[in-house]
Amino acid sequence: MKIKYQTSELFRALVLIGLFLFAFVIGGGNTNNPDYFEYEYRYTNLVNASHTSSLLYLFQVIFHKIGVSYQLFRAIEVFIGLFLLTKTIRRYSEKWVFVFALYLVYPFLLDVVQLGNFVAYTIALFSLKYLEEEWPKGGIKYAIAILIASQFHILAIIYMIFLLVYVKNTKHLMLIAIGITAFLTATISLLPQFINHIPFISSHAAQIQYYITFNESYRGGAFVYGILIIVCFFVCYYKESLTKRYYQPGEDLVISGTMIRILALVLCFVPFIIINSEFVRIIRNTWVLYYISLTYDIKKVNRKMYTLDKLFKLTAILLAVFLFYKELSPSAFYYESVTQAIFDNNLFW
């Protein structure tokens, strides 16, 4: 039995390594996508664009000075992001190959395009482990990690809201989250009128304006996206309640209560995607957490639980396929500029 278990673990590890290498070849070898030439121009000419954060720019300067080509620098970014993401998946999921495969379906190809965002959010996800430590030590570690992540992409700063998982009362947590969401939504709606008159902020007016411009044409899509997030959360919440119902003292919970609280806080981002489609990425960055929550095994104490376990996993597959279909399939808006461009342009073929 032990030999069989070790063989199974070895096989899974080899499959994961294979998927990792596949992702690295696709991402690190890519030579054309919607953002490729802009990133290459910034790197080659050491241009720090208004929405490029300082730590990323610093690394660009260092690697450029020592003669590293943009393509190699890009490959390093892809490797770091994939490494951090793999570590996160292995920490929280017993189905790490399954979860990583779902990630490759969606949103991997978009991460190949938006590399700054990719590195930033993988740092943020990797740092979630600190939220399982006691306050304030864990909170301080997490806050520092998010500050570092925001230096690769400024939008990562919004993940500071996950510090609210330290509010133990779930009702209080949701009330606080709703209040913060309402406040920030109102502020973002009003800020364009006053942005040039606010001390210390006016100098960053162009960058802030870029992210808070109301995007009327995207509202319908954002509404559907928001509904999808809400439905997925309640499915994950229902699954966690089933897990706890059959949990016995002394057993290890497959997924911590911290995870479902984080997913609850993700709901706070929904109003932002209606304001500007740029904010979609802050939710897209968390899809892997939904995959983790939907794919872990629940106790199959009866036929109903066995069926539900399969349905939850099927839900994760359908979710990834649906998102790919809507955004990256041949009938989708981004197919030619993202999917086709990435697979048609690679230095390995």
**DSSP assigned state of 338:** I
pLDDT of 300 > 50? The answer is yes
Q: What is the mean pLDDT of residues 224-233?
A: 85
Under the banding of pLDDT at 50, 70 and 90, the label for residue 69 is very high
Q: What's the pLDDT score for residue 9?
A: 83
pLDDT of 78 > 60? The answer is yes
Q: What's the pLDDT score for residue 47?
A: 79
Q: Name the percent of the chain lying above pLDDT 90.
A: 52
Q: 3-class SS at 346?
A: strand
Under the banding of pLDDT at 50, 70 and 90, the label for residue 197 is low
Closest CA to 80 of 41, 116, 32, 134: 116
What angle do the packed helices 303-327 and 96-105 form, to 10 degrees?
Answer: 30
Q: Greater confidence, 297 or 19?
A: 19
State the Cα angle at 142 between 167 and 163, rounded to 5°.
20
User: What confidence tens digit (pLDDT) does each residue in 168-183 have?
Assistant: 776 777 777 777 767 7
Helix ranges (H only) for 195-218 are: 205-212
Tokens of 89: 């998946």
Q: What is the mean pLDDT of residues 234-253?
A: 76
For the chain, give every domain's residue range: 2-344
Q: What's the pLDDT score for residue 264?
A: 86
Q: What's the pLDDT score for residue 217?
A: 43
pLDDT of 214 > 50? The answer is no
- Beta carbons of 222 and 229 less than 8 angstroms apart: no
Q: What's the pLDDT score for residue 202?
A: 52
Q: What's the pLDDT score for residue 167?
A: 84
Q: What's the pLDDT score for residue 49?
A: 60
Q: Name the percent of the chain lying above pLDDT 70.
A: 79
- Window from 61-70, 271-280, 301-310 with minimum mean pLDDT: 271-280
- Window from 44-53, 72-81, 193-202, 277-286 with minimum mean pLDDT: 193-202
Q: What's the pLDDT score for residue 338?
A: 96
Tokens 């016995």 correspond to 248
Q: 3-class SS at 117?
A: helix
**DSSP assigned state of 169:** -
Under the banding of pLDDT at 50, 70 and 90, the label for residue 91 is very high
Q: What is the mean pLDDT of residues 17-43?
A: 95
- Beta carbons of 260 and 312 less than 8 angstroms apart: no
Q: Greater confidence, 31 or 213?
A: 31
Backbone φ and ψ of 154, nearest 5°: -60, -30
pTM for this model (two decimals): 0.87
Q: What's the pLDDT score for residue 257?
A: 72
Closest CA to 240 of 280, 198, 290: 290
Q: What is the mean pLDDT of residues 133-150?
A: 94
Contacts of the segment 157-160: beta carbons below 8 A, 24+ positions apart = 158/269, 158/282, 159/121, 159/124, 159/282
Backbone φ and ψ of 232, nearest 5°: -60, -40
Backbone φ and ψ of 30, nearest 5°: -65, 135
Q: Greater confidence, 16 or 187?
A: 16
